[in-house]
Amino acid sequence: MTGMIIFFAVCFVAGTLSLLYGKKMVNVLLAVYAFCAVYRFVLEHFPDNAYILWIAIAAGILAIVLVRTAKKFAFFLLGAIIGVLIGMTALIFLPTLPEYVPYAVVLICAVLFGYLTSHYENTLIRFGTAYLGGEMISSAVLLLIFGSAALPALAFDDIVASMNAVSAYLYGPFTQQYSLWIVIIGIGLMFFGAHYQKKH
């Protein structure tokens, strides 16, 4: 149960900070995004990997180091991570593709958003961080509302195992079923968050 509580706490806290203060807290949030992107990727493609959490933590630490050493590259990295997460969401709406195509789609999104963010950082950082925050919040809220029946079976004594189980369910069957709602609510929150960030 503790792992599940931590999972939802991270979703709501990180989601709210990203939605409302993404531009101001971009250095901190970059590490959070790197953690989430790597964690989600490894979980989806290598679910039996026993070191998922540690690999994701290492990615977050690496992102912090890059932010402190190369600011311009950090903006590219931020955009690339946003592109990876958006690309992984976009794959849900695509038909079954050859094995290499999903990787190509995610890579193209990463490079495209990385390039755009490094050149048009102010606007895209506001909208990019607001969208990711909105998606985190909408996913967690919808999971609590429509996936509550499945949650008790995902609560384990082992914190990491519980977090992995909830994440696998959220980014797997649940997201496939409610992906359209997640994206629609996420986009709505994105416009609100981007406007809030601009005013504050």
Q: Is 199 left (phi over 0), alpha (psi -120 to 50) or beta?
A: alpha
Task: Please name the residues in contact with 130: beta carbons below 8 A apart, sequence gap of 6 or more.
Answer: 18, 19, 22, 189, 190, 191, 192, 193, 194, 196, 197
Dihedral over Cα of 42, 43, 47, 52: its sign: positive
| Of 88, 81, 95, 87, residue with least CA distance to 45 | 88
| pLDDT tens figures, 2-42 | 778 888 888 899 889 989 988 888 777 777 777 777 777 77
Give dist(CA 91, CA 147) in Å, integer.
Answer: 22
**What percent of the chain shows pLDDT beyond 90?**
8
| pLDDT tens figures, 77-90 | 778 877 887 787 77
Instruction: Show the domain range for 61.
Output: 2-199
Given a cut of 90, whether residue 192 has pLDDT beyond it is: yes
pLDDT of res. 137: 92
pLDDT of res. 183: 85
Give dist(CA 49, CA 40) in Å, integer.
Answer: 12
Give dist(CA 147, CA 44) in Å, integer.
Answer: 19
| pLDDT tens figures, 134-177 | 988 999 999 999 988 888 888 887 777 787 788 888 877 888 88
Confidence of residue 70 (pLDDT cuts 50, 70, 90): low
Task: Please name the residues in contact with 65: beta carbons below 8 A apart, sequence gap of 6 or more.
Answer: none
Instruction: Judge contact between 35 and 195, C-beta under 8 A.
Output: no
Q: Dmax over Cα atoms in the chain, in whole Å?
A: 46
pTM for the full predicted model: 0.75
Q: What is the mean pLDDT of the chain?
A: 80
| pLDDT tens figures, 58-67 | 777 776 676 6
pLDDT of res. 69: 66
Number of independent structural domains in the chain: 1
